[in-house]
Structure 1
């Protein structure tokens, strides 16, 4: 019922009817799009909406393709508010029909967000010269409607840069490398083939992320050999990982290494499999909030 009333009531409201509709959208001269993050771990495309806030598309490095959209408002909603997102033609394209994209709910004191499929639809509509617009009832004046539009002017060049950034995102996220266990070959300082690949992922991610504050490196051995020798081996292994990290731009002061020797076993040292599991280095990474 609400959808029917909204489409009938909102989509037919002329933008020139300022007594009923307050419309926030950048003019031809004001409309600017910016790629504010362009790296293998994050892509961000932003658009300023004069007197209202900004529109932000973003995507993070991940195993899955993802896209988030946030309508960042200078003044957050004072109450839970239903809104309709519509693709609307700009004034210089008369006769082009409007198209409803989705319905959303603004939560109190939070920025507006849309489902991921709707975010992709918004990008597609902008690329076609359309103007995605949010319609909702004013929080303080129930007789007034508010329209918040994203201008397609000057969009395409920045959109192409954003798409290029998306194609270069790493196929794994911070969470995938924040706790990494590496294993060593028996009796030496060399990582197993699988752990070498894991280490390369950690190195690659850290080389792009300036927000990493602390890297903890804890090394362990199996129980074969004298304890003092195992202690030294674990320190050597931890320092080798530290050297790897420093070579990829992580400051020495942010890396804390500890060699635990043959303590804190994960499995029995009576089997080859168990000893393989106990010869390990655990990397734990923390970021600033």
Structure 2
């Protein structure tokens, strides 16, 4: 969508700190006050934050996942009082004379919510900061349509924290909580040991839990096939349950956050006449619960 000529000229004339005119309000950190800080650096989440004086906090976040992801949030001290369109511009700093402003996107910020952006536009904002430019959100003040509000992210002191943030993203686990929240693993025949592929999956679950203090429940349900006596199968199911319970406790989870059920040969999910069917029935179902922050 094209901006009006008058608006473009106004934007091009705006430097880091626009001249104080009655028709606009500007929020942005002065160079001496511009701070970017990596506040979370973990294999399941990376976060970098920037304080905008008298306005709020800008945050970029990326989470462990199979896919590359980036989320931006403009946390406002006073959230939008009215749902409104917001123009996203890339503004040149004063030390880039002659550089034009650039239109990036038109967004929609919702009443009483912080500004939230994800995907390509979030990556674009990060890229503009890396180039030393100032991504700026411009919109009409909801109380007074004659006044424009400009909220800028400062690129001053951005590079070193950005390098740290990028390093964190490169170390994120390649799977998310949703990928492991409900998992079925399988056992070797007549054994309390998982097969090789299930052991690898269990290691992934363990690695995620090590970095996730918000995991508040691990539910384990073990099952056997019908090969052998029913009582022996029940005992095997209980041995498997105890072994897994001890394993999750070794990760630091307290016993009251681990719930165990041993079903033996009850509740089969396949027929027990073939090796394939018996392998499906020799299983443990692991369900994870996560507290909402």
Name the TM-score, length of structure 1 as normaliser. 0.95
Partners of 1:179 and 1:9 in 2: how far apart? 55
> Structure 1 residue 101 and structure 2 residue 88: aligned?
no
- Structure 2 gaps, min length 5: none
Tell me the residue number matched to 2:11. 11
Partners of 1:78 and 1:6 in 2: how far apart? 26
| Shift, 1:29, TM fit | 2.1
* Contact 2:36–2:158 under 8 Å retained in 1: yes
Tell me the residue number matched to 2:138. 135
SS in 2 for 1:45: strand
Tell me the residue number matched to 1:231. 234
Partners of 2:23 and 2:210 in 1: how far apart? 52
Tell me the residue number matched to 1:272. 275
Tell me the residue number matched to 1:64. 67
C-alpha distance after superposition, 1:194-249 (max 9, x if no partner): 11111111111111111100100110111222222111111111111122222222
Partners of 1:238 and 1:224 in 2: how far apart? 19
Alpha carbon RMSD of aligned pairs, Å?
Answer: 1.6
* Contact 2:12–2:100 under 8 Å retained in 1: no
Tell me which stretches of 4 or more aligned residues in structure 1 moved more than 6 Å: none
> Structure 1 residue 164 and structure 2 residue 167: aligned?
yes
Partners of 1:18 and 1:178 in 2: how far apart? 54
Return 166-175 or 82-91, whichever deviates more. Answer: 82-91
SS in 1 for 2:86: strand
SS in 1 for 2:183: strand
Tell me the residue number matched to 2:200. 197
Partners of 2:62 and 2:10 in 1: how far apart? 31
Match among 218, 223, 231 for residue 220 of structure 1: 223
* Contact 1:72–1:112 under 8 Å retained in 2: yes
SS in 2 for 1:200: helix
> Structure 1 residue 41 and structure 2 residue 44: aligned?
yes
* Contact 1:13–1:21 under 8 Å retained in 2: no
SS in 2 for 1:223: coil
| Shift, 1:257, TM fit | 1.2
- Change in CA separation of 1:13 and 1:22 when aligned onto 2, cut-off 3 Å: farther
How many equivalent pairs are there?
Answer: 289
Partners of 1:227 and 1:193 in 2: how far apart? 26
Partners of 1:228 and 1:36 in 2: how far apart? 53
* Contact 1:60–1:66 under 8 Å retained in 2: yes
The equivalences for 1:110-189 within 5 A come to 110-189=113-192
* Contact 2:12–2:101 under 8 Å retained in 1: no
Tell me the residue number matched to 1:242. 245
- Structure 1 gaps, min length 5: none
Return 15-24 or 113-122, whichever deviates more. Answer: 113-122
Partners of 2:213 and 2:6 in 1: how far apart? 45
Name the TM-score, length of structure 2 as normaliser. 0.94
Partners of 2:9 and 2:101 in 1: how far apart? 13
C-alpha distance after superposition, 1:176-210 (max 9, x if no partner): 11111110011111111111111111111111111
